[in-house]
Amino acid sequence: MTPFSMKVFAATALLLVLTGCAASGNTPLPQSAQVRQVTQSAHCGLTGPGVAYVNSAEKLDSFLGVRGQNMSTDVIRQVDLAQEQLIFVTLGQKPTAGYSLGLAEFSQEDGTLNLQMDLKAPAPGMMVAQVITSPCAVLAVAGGDWARVEVTGVTDQPLVERVKR
Amino acid sequence: MRALIALIVLSPWMVVLAGCSDSGGSDDDVPESLFSPLSGAIAIEANSRIDQDTMDQLRREGASPATAEQQLPASFVLAGYVSPNAGTYPAPARACQPQDYEQDPLDTFSVPLAVGETVVLKSFGTCGADVALELQVEGYPAVRTSGRDETAQFRLNAGQAGDYQVVVRNVGNLPSRYVLLKTAGTAQQNAAYEWPDHGYVEGEAIVTLTESASAAAPAFNMSAQRSAGVRKLGERTWLRTMTNTARAMAGGQMPPDTLAWIRSLREQPEVESAVPNYQMRSQSPVGEPLYGKQWHYGMINGPVAWQIEPSGGAGVNVAVLDTGLFRASGSSGWHPDLDRNVVTGRDFVDNDSDPRDPGSSVGGNVYHGTHVAGTVASVIDNKGSGGVAFGTNLLPVRVLGEGGTGSSADLIDAIAWLVNGSSGQPPRAQVVNMSLGGLPEIPQLESVMAAGVNKGMLFVAAAGNAAGSEKSYPAASRNVLAVSAVDGARNLASYSNFGSWIDLAAPGGDAGRDANTDGEADLIWSTSAVLKSGQYEADYRGLQGTSMAAPHVSGVLAMMKAEKPELDYGDIRALLESGELTEYSGRRSDQVGFGVLDAAKAVSAASQGFAGPVLSASPAVVSLSNEGVEAQVVELNVYGSAPVTGASVDSHPAWLRVTEDFSQKPFTLEVILLPDRLTPDVAARGDIVVSYNGSKQLHIPVIGQLITDEKARNAGKHFVLLVGTEPNEQGVYLAEAQVTATVQDGEYSFQFEADDGEEPRQLSGVAPGDYYLVAGTDIDGDGFICQSGEACAEYPVTGLREVVTVKVRQSISGLRMTTGFSRPTISAASPDILPRPKFKGYQLIDSRGRAVSTNPTRKALQ
């Protein structure tokens, strides 16, 4: 075994053991993904709507280092990226308080992880704080055999992200 | 040869251009083994001291942490090392080397302290990690370092002057470098201890041509004017754009290309100077630490208003109808920067008398109401920020609940409570701030506000962030001042509402712009709370929105009410429409109404009998020493239309000579230090008092120092390095040759040896090549010098290193540089300093084997 493949194996070993499919890397893993919401915030500092897959501490640092964000970074950092990976779903910049994103449902089909988000927005005529916000939800996903994330409920068209896992 | 050395020392450029020419003839006769190819001396910055048990000491065999108190002088900048344990540094190559470190949990000092003096501790952590330290002064509770700069300070507010025991304790898990300082307003107090990392416009430079080049090359100028890549700024000065470089790289880390390009511009003979396109941040005289970020206060002319209304709105109640105020879990008080000003409020969401902001049930929270309240009235306490009306009473009223939303019924209830009945009862607040909106016009709301206006109340509301002209209530109400938001360049913020119903504008920030080019996004900074270790703690943050603009207006109205309590809404409207509250163009606009708020004009207009002018000094505080600035010209600016009469200098300290020139504007004072009248090494303080227009006085604080500690200075054991002129792939500059120097009579001397070409090579052996000459301490023993908290010297001037070329059988001697713990800052006085994004120090030669040379010149010569 070359040093390189050793390294790859070491990084994924835990996951493989947990999912019980360690025996062979050649057969597909018909395993369904588990998704949970880690946190949400009205001030994530990310100004465009989108979805981002985070599977390294380095990438996570770039998200948590965004100026103006006020997320519960502790609970996000507690996620063991070897076992669960993070998905940031951002609503983009909003003109007032009163917006929030949360996970409603998830499913996995044909290699796609479907995330249905619950978007709350102030009703017309509601009294709201006049501060610019940038809401987002941070999700953790474990396992599954998918290479594409499709997020509905955030924008008119689903947000799609191809993911290299 | 002596003449040549003098030339080298006086003119660092000559080292590169001429110092290493073949003219060093006589040295050719010296036997190679006897001469040093490079030697010199390193002076030490005033007041520098070193901890007695840094890693340099602890690494010696049999060494243990010092137990005795270390005596410190009245003024000092001491660098030290503390570690809770022994271990080995982790080895991310850019930040530290995997060397061992020793335990040294605390350092103890004896410090002379007088009432009013402050001791400051700055923790720099190690290997790129922050480490919390504690500063404990005998008889007082320990103060922990905090904030982005990991700083703690102790001020002796009362008690006996004398020697106090001061302990620096490591309460983290890793070793830490630190600087402990007590200085008296000399340059060291405002000095930076980290390398500059200012933002600048990528791909742009401000270039000044030499006079001859400018005159000789009109063709260049002509073509330049037509070219999109060049813009004329002055007679010989141009804004040049780097070709093929995308300009629009807002925020984030800048690649260093621009800096390399600017260095190459500086080498062109026709270029007199080239600097990045950034503007210096003003050195604000206003005392609160965050003031430097609060561009919005300068924009509304706050400093002048505070001179006219020095109580900051005392005696006035401002109700903040919002999400309530932050109170730390288990704390008995509000946000510490608000607490002193807060009076009893009410919660209309939960219908009780506790208007605390409970935060969000899920996820993060920015404590909107706390932020708004801070802009109105955070207290002046040398911590955090100060509000526009820093002396006014804050009356928190909670009308916004979960997620910053609320009901109009709660708002109507709240205003009715503030109006306090229809009969003779006075209202509970004179000014009401509503950083909320989105409501339609509601008759009940209109009538309750009309009742308030009848009682002399003033209502202010955020115009809303819909970037549209649709009316948003309560702002659009005829009884409310509707405030739109502008960015740092007084342009309507991209999100702000506009329209015929806008009354005036105030700064609300715009995160997408840096319109005032201070290198930071135009956010409004105020009190807030952040999540640390699972709990919210009082802190500060920048936000944007018309929510942030409205409280600037409310604060100014509070100051106006303090000046003239009977001012009512009709008076305010009259003043507004006659341009007395704003910088007014004479024509109302839908973007900014009657203009952008001007606190000074507004408060002057309100001030009864305000006929006279106000004098304001620039700089506001004068700091002089025999080793720094010995003479300073102070400008006195006049605010107000009335003439200044009978201005004269009433008094000044005996250790100053003050020459006034009041014959023309701006008035000036030339202030010269008379050091021989000062007690050595004791900072003297006093005021220059200028009186004018009869009884008016302007006090200009002055600090003077005679520094005589040259022989006692010690910045610790120094490594003197010749490093390659290009960093390696990790951005690290590696040492090619290395000698050590210990202090002798307040100075270091160093001498390299010629490389004899034999293996193993000596650390001190220098081969011919191009190098930077640098020196510094490695007090945490992590294999890097010149990190924050460590001494650093660069030849010829720290921050402006130049290439030194070592040639075969030539000697350069008498090189001089200065070491110290402070770092150069980019200022009007030192525009040639460039930012050093990501610079972490110089890597020492690993004793286990010499690092591979990265110096191409050297390889070629070898």
List pLDDT tens digits, range A78-90. Answer: 899 999 999 999 9
Residue of A43, A73, A127 lying closest to B405 (CB–CB):
A127
How far, in Å, CA of B477 to CA of B83, rounded? Answer: 62
CA-based nearest distance A150→chain B, Å: 23
Cβ neighbours for B740, distance < 8 A, ≥ 6 positions apart: B717, B718, B719, B720
Chain B: residue whose CA lies nearest to A125? B439
Q: Give the pLDDT band (50/70/90) at residue B92.
A: low
How far, in Å, CA of B589 to CA of B597, rounded? Answer: 14
**Predicted confidence (pLDDT) at residue B705 exceeds the cutoff of 70:** yes
Dihedral sign from CA coordinates of B412, B413, B418, B424: positive
The DSSP bridge partners found for residue B317 are: B393
CA dihedral B362, B363, B369, B373 (to 10 degrees): 140
DSSP string computed for A4-43? HHHHHHHHHHHHHHHHT-TT-SSS------EEEEEEEESB
Q: With beta carbons under 8 A apart, name residues in chain A contacting B405.
A: 97-98, 122, 126-129
Q: Give the pLDDT band (50/70/90) at residue B114.
A: confident
- Residues B217-250 pLDDT 10s: 543 443 444 444 666 555 666 667 776 543 333 3
CB pair distance less than 8 Å for B404 and A97: yes
Region of B745 please: left (phi>0), alpha (psi -120 to 50) or beta.
left
Length of chain B: 862
CB pair distance less than 8 Å for B404 and A42: yes
All structural domains of chain B: 2-47+711-861 (no CATH), 63-182 (2.60.120.380), 204-276 (no CATH), 292-606 (3.40.50.200), 619-705 (2.60.40.10)
Chain A: residue whose CA lies nearest to B529? A70
How far, in Å, CA of A51 to CA of B452, rounded? Answer: 48
How far, in Å, CA of A144 to CA of A108, rounded? Answer: 8
Mean pLDDT of B249-274: 68
- Cβ(B208)–Cβ(B271) below 8 Å: yes
Strands B176-182 and B118-125: antiparallel
Of the ranges B20-34, B159-173, B379-393, B460-474, which one carries the lowest mean pLDDT score?
A: B20-34
Kindly state the tokens that stand for B851: 């690092």
DSSP string computed for B101-160? E--B-EEEEEEEE-TT-EEEEEEEEBTTB---EEEEETTS--EE-BTTTTEEEEE--SS-
- Return the percentage of chain B with pLDDT > 70, whole number: 82
Could you list the beta-strand ranges (E) of B279-399: 317-322, 346-347, 393-398
Q: Give the pLDDT band (50/70/90) at residue A73.
A: confident
- Residues B309-341 pLDDT 10s: 888 999 999 999 999 999 998 888 999 999 999
Mean pLDDT of B677-683: 82
- Cβ(B483)–Cβ(B460) below 8 Å: yes
pTM above 0.80, yes or no: no
DSSP string computed for chain A? --HHHHHHHHHHHHHHHHHT-TT-SSS------EEEEEEEESB----SEEEEEE-SHHHHHHHHTSTT----HHHHHTS-TTT-EEEEEEE--BSSS--EEEEEEEEEETTEEEEEEEEE-PPTT-EEE---BB-EEEEEEE----SEEEEESSSSSPEEEE---
At B765, the amino acid letter reads: G
**pLDDT at residue B30, rounded to an integer:** 45
- Cβ(B731)–Cβ(B737) below 8 Å: no
**pLDDT at residue B191, rounded to an integer:** 63
- A53, burial (CB in 10 Å: exposed 0-12, middle 13-18, buried 19+): middle
**pLDDT at residue B347, rounded to an integer:** 96
Q: Give the pLDDT band (50/70/90) at residue B582.
A: very high
Cβ neighbours for B860, distance < 8 A, ≥ 6 positions apart: none
* Between B305 and B148, the higher pLDDT residue: B305
CA-based nearest distance B323→chain A, Å: 8
Query: Best interface-test mutation with B: which of A58, A88, A130, A133 has the largest number of B CBs within 10 A?
Result: A130
Average pLDDT, chain B: 81
Catalytic residue check, B718: no
The pair phi, psi for residue B333, each rounded to 5°, is: -120, 170
How far, in Å, CA of B368 to CA of B830, rounded? Answer: 40
Residue with tokens 């009306």: B389
- Cβ(B766)–Cβ(B858) below 8 Å: no
Length of chain A: 165
**pLDDT at residue B6, rounded to an integer:** 34
Query: Helix, strand, coil % (nearest 5) of chain B?
Result: 20, 30, 50
Mean pLDDT of B526-542: 86
Catalytic residue check, B410: no
B736 closest CA partner among B778, B774, B709? B774
Cis peptide before B276 (omega within 30 of 0): no
Q: What Å distances lie between residue A152 and A53, A113, A148, A155, CA to CA?
A: 16, 11, 13, 7
Cβ neighbours for B260, distance < 8 A, ≥ 6 positions apart: none
Catalytic residue check, B335: no
Residue of B251, B364, B438 lying closest to A128 (CB–CB):
B438
* Between A155 and A113, the higher pLDDT residue: A113
Chain B: residue whose CA lies nearest to A100? B403
B122 closest CA partner among B823, B800, B747, B782? B823
